[in-house]
Amino acid sequence: MAVGKVTEALIRFALETKYEDIPEEVVRTQKKSLLDSIGVMAAATTLEPACAPFIGYAVDNSREEACTIIGTGRGASPVLAAMANGALIHALDYEDGHDGSKTHPNTASIPALLALSQSMELGGRDMLAAMAVSGEIACRLKQSLRVNDLACGWYSPPMFSAYGAVLGGARALGLDQGRTRDALSICMTQILLPGQSACSGESVLRAVRDAFSAKAAVFSLLMAKAGVTARLDEPFEGKLGLFRMMANGDYDLRVILDGLGEQWECARLRYKAWPCCGTVHGALDAVLELVNQYELRPDEVQEIHLEVNPNHLRVLEPYEVKYRPKSLAAAKFSMPFSLALAVWNRDLRLDMYREEALKDERLLQMAQKVTYCLRAGAVTGDDGGDDHITVVLKTGRGSFRKEQFVSLGAPEKPLSEARLAKKFLDCMQFSRYRYNPEKIQKLPGEIKGLEQLPSVGAFVHRYFSAGEESGR
């Protein structure tokens, strides 16, 4: 049977896209994503305990240390290094995201491509092109769904990130169309997340989910390269394919194919100003503006009332998970807890999400003050955008109201390059391994010229293979 329309088009796009075909704006975005991701991976080595078993397993079970595990000073085999870095990249919920598709397009591709760049000696241009292809495919696949994936029982962002990473990785490795379909087919047999992984209060799987995506992507590529003929017929669009399984075939083909290679969704990424779920950021921006503008003390706040869109309910419900989170991953996916942190600290920084904070009664009582209702005119299925939210802080001095439409970090209100570089350096302070600070300060500038580097692997080794235990 011939390869289906979706699968064939995506494979051709992945394998035939040249670096010269990619607009400068898209290339700049990939550089920002690489810098941002390296920083958040390094910080997660000390700030998210759930990552430690993945790092330990990767180091203990690798006969080689060819591929660097960011922030640890250690290396592992390509598959296990991708797994460890994949566990790190989303652990703090601080990496880039795509608002239109509500996905994190680079969470599998960057760990996977970092591993491949060291094991296969990729140059900077190939790395950037593979990242662009991976991210574009992940965004378009997720955005094409006409149904709510969680409502259907799936948690699809890590799945689509994995498939994008496979197709971008196939381009980097120079696989042909048949071997690329092999890799995609192998990957589809490995990466699956039920929706329950996103809403179980004690589970850490939401934090480390991309360990499985990145590991599956690299393993699938290497197996396809080794000759495994796995090529499924129409793996995306077939009558028993992925879209049938996930959404009963309810997806928009035009979203995937229209303008592919000409209009780039992966250029419109959010770089997070705060280390938590992007759906919380509109409320955070408004709350922080109000408490700082009016110098509101925590003990003054009697109620934090929200007028929300239906999509905000996923960070407000179920009550027992969102108002008293049991894990750091659940806390970052909780609007009440994150707003409580922001009100208490008049800020929201990386080090505020700590295990001890989950048991802090002051914070839990502040979270209880969060109430909400659907905004006037909101209907089921109308998400209204993550950023559009109204916050009313009720105090003894009166009520203070802010309707938010765009939050800091969105493409329409981007972080400056200086702030992105500061975010990176702030993250590096929490790295398990302490690297030469003078060298690390030069890294943002070197990533700006990544396309000139003959070896990304040598670049990663130069910056991240030598260091000393930070004692954290």
Mean pLDDT value across residues 48-60:
97
Six token digits for residue 133:
């292809």
Confidence (pLDDT) at 3? 53
Contact 260, 140 (CB under 8 A): yes
Six token digits for residue 59:
């180091």
Strands (DSSP E) found in 347-388: 370-374
- Distance in angstroms (rounded) separating the CA atoms of residues 156 and 186: 17
Mean pLDDT value across residues 88-104:
95
- The strand order across the sheet containing 301-308 reads 370-374, 301-308, 389-395, 398-404
- Closest by CA position to 164, among listed 5, 13, 377: 13
Residue reference for tokens 């051709």: 12
pLDDT of 17 higher than 60 = yes
Query: Using 50, 70 and 90 to split pLDDT, how confident is the model at 380?
Result: low
Give backbone dihedrals phi and psi of 265, rounded to 5 degrees, phi first: -65, -35
Give backbone dihedrals phi and psi of 258, rounded to 5 degrees, phi first: -65, 125
Contact 307, 313 (CB under 8 A): no
Span 288-323, pLDDT tens digits: 999 999 999 999 999 999 999 999 999 999 999 999
Query: Using 50, 70 and 90 to split pLDDT, how confident is the model at 359?
Result: very high
Contact 342, 281 (CB under 8 A): no
Mean pLDDT value across residues 70-83:
96
Q: Is the pTM of this model over 0.85?
A: yes
Residue 318: is the preceding peptide bond cis (ω within 30°)? yes
Confidence (pLDDT) at 152? 87
Span 150-191, pLDDT tens digits: 888 888 999 999 999 999 999 999 999 999 999 999 999 998
What DSSP string runs through 209-257?
A: THHHHHHHHHHHHHHHHHT-----SSTTTSTTSHHHHHHTT-B-HHHHH
Question: Where is pLDDT greater, at 383 or 262?
Answer: 262
Mean pLDDT value across residues 17-31:
97
Average pLDDT of the chain, as a whole number: 93
Per the DSSP assignment, residues forming a β-bridge with 389 are 404
Span 106-160, pLDDT tens digits: 999 999 999 999 998 899 999 999 999 999 999 999 999 999 888 888 889 999 9
Query: Using 50, 70 and 90 to split pLDDT, how confident is the model at 201?
Result: confident
Contact 251, 116 (CB under 8 A): no
- Distance in angstroms (rounded) separating the CA atoms of residues 165 and 108: 6
For 12: left if phi > 0, alpha if psi spans -120 to 50, otherwise beta; the answer is alpha
Least confident of 189-193, 405-409, 444-448, 450-454: 189-193
The burial of 396, by beta-carbon neighbours within 10 Å (0-12 exposed, 13-18 middle, 19 or more buried), is given as exposed
Query: Using 50, 70 and 90 to split pLDDT, how confident is the model at 1?
Result: very low
Proportion of the chain above pLDDT 90, given as a percent: 85
Confidence (pLDDT) at 2? 43
The burial of 141, by beta-carbon neighbours within 10 Å (0-12 exposed, 13-18 middle, 19 or more buried), is given as buried
Task: Let me know how many helices (H) and strands (E) the chain has, helices first.
Answer: 20, 8
pLDDT of 229 higher than 60 = yes
Contact 453, 34 (CB under 8 A): no
